[in-house]
Every structure is written in structure tokens, then in C-alpha cells.
Amino acid sequence: MPELPEVETTVRGLAPVLEGRRIARVTLRRPDLRRPMPEDLGQRLTGARVVALGRRAKYGLIDTDRGDTMIFHLGMSGRWRVDPGEMLTHDHLVLETEAGRMLALNDPRRFGSVDLVETARIAAWPAFAALGPEPLGPQFTAAHLAGAFAGRSAPVKALLLDQRIVAGLGNIYVCEALHMAGIAPTRAGGRIGEARLAQLVLAIRAVLAAAIEAGGSTLRDYARPDGELGYFSKQWRVYGREGEPCLCGAPVRRRVDGGRSTFYCAKCQR
């Protein structure tokens, strides 16, 4: 599933095509993805000018001058294709701008979603209402984690994947950040001191920044809007590297928790 860096990379790739442009035509080539798309999507977007693009957690945001925000989620395999030469079977939503540019939302598995919400009420939208702070934002601090983890016996990895504590973190980048910070994924969150939490915050920020710079990680069908693949997978420290040597020389280990693989180094991470 595309995670925060993949969504951020997607939004940045869409901005030069959409920002400041008026949407001239909206074509729904099917009525639903994971759930039905808004019936009035075409009516509310056609003629609207895109004033900003952004991201919240793993959702992309397209703000218009009509006070509406189109919210998209890429699901398991979704991606936007810029100026496609031809329509593909799984191009389900097509936006055309006044400048003649075209964007097609392609989603073979149809686990993604498209919603339209009043911009002024976006913070109260059900999927956003309970989200924690953005990991790249100023509210994500060691003090925030200390407060969220206080008295908790749950493993730190599970706590970081809790979207109510921090928004947008996924399995790959939590594994990578915990390794960078030298913290065992099974350590109880409530037993990690604030100094180590400060290191963890820095590690999370560093891993996400590097992944965004590399265009995300290539997983299954994910590609950037320009069609290029993300290359952060070439920088993975532990994820997907079971049995291979860690930077310290010890073998990377793998365990399964709640159906998810956790990769770590028993020597480096305590």
C-alpha cells in the first residue's frame, strides 16, 4: 500500500499540472472504487480552479476555489497518470484542465477512494477527526510521544502505527525509523525515556524525508505520476532484508505481529 512518502511524492507530482489551473472536464469511467464516488463530483469540480494541493496522513488533497476539497486515497495499487497517451482499463477518473493537461486515476484493485468535502470542514471529516499530528509537522515531538506512550505496555511499533498517535506512518517506515533510532520494535512504549523518544522523532523525520527525496518505495504497482518508480527500497536498512547483514554485521531478523512483518536487528536495537 502506498504510504506517506508515496502520497507526498504523488501530490508534488500533481502540483505543476493542477495548481492554479481550472478543471475543464471531469469523466467518471466507473461510479465507484472502494465505495461510491460522489454523484455530484463532476458538477462541483467542472469549472473550478485548483488553488492548492496537500496531504493529510495517507490521503491526497486537492483544494478548489469553490470551497471544496477532493480527497483521494490510493488504496493498494492506485496511482495518477499524467497526460496518458491512451486510456487504460483501470483509469477510473479523468481530470482535464483548461491548459489541455490530463490526469487519470488508475486503480486496478479498486481499494482507493475519492471524496469531496467542504474545505472549511475538512478537519471534522470522519477519516481525519481522530488523526494524530503529522510526523513532519511541528506538533510531532518527543513530548507528544511521551504523553501518548505514558503507561502503555504495547510495543512501540504498534503504537507508532496507531493513526491516533501519529498520522500516516506505515509498516516500512516504522521498521526503518526504529532501526535508525536503535529501538527494538517490541519494547514497551511506556518504558522508553524522552531522550530516546527525541532520537526516534529525528529518525522518523529523516527516514520520511529520504523516502520522499527518492520518490518513495516501489511496492507492487506503485509509480509516481510521471511513471517513474520510487527508489527508496534501495536504501532500506532492514525492511525486506531478512537474513542479510545489518550495518553492524549481524543478520536482519523478521517476526510477524498482527499479520505484519517486522524487520529488525537484535544487536543494534534495544
Question: DSSP code of 234?
Answer: G
* Phi and psi, residue 250, nearest 5°: -75, 155
Residues 246, 262: Cα–Cα separation, whole Å: 14
Cβ-based neighbour number of residue 91 at 10 Å? 20
Active site (annotated) includes residue 2: yes
Residues 49, 160: Cα–Cα separation, whole Å: 37
Question: DSSP code of 236?
Answer: -
Burial of 136 (0-12, 13-18, 19+ CB in 10 A): middle
202, amino acid identity? L
Active site (annotated) includes residue 98: no
245, amino acid identity? P
Please identify which of the residues 21, 55, 56, 58 carries the catalytic annotation.
58
What are the beta bridge partners of residue 114?
72
User: Rg of the Cα trace of the chain?
Assistant: 20
What are the beta bridge partners of residue 126?
none
For the CA atoms of 10, 162, 109, 211, the dihedral, rounded to the nearest 10 degrees, stands at: 30
Residues 27, 270: Cα–Cα separation, whole Å: 53
* Contact present, 161 and 185 (Cβ < 8 Å): no
Active site (annotated) includes residue 244: no
Q: Which residues are catalytic?
A: 2-3, 58, 260
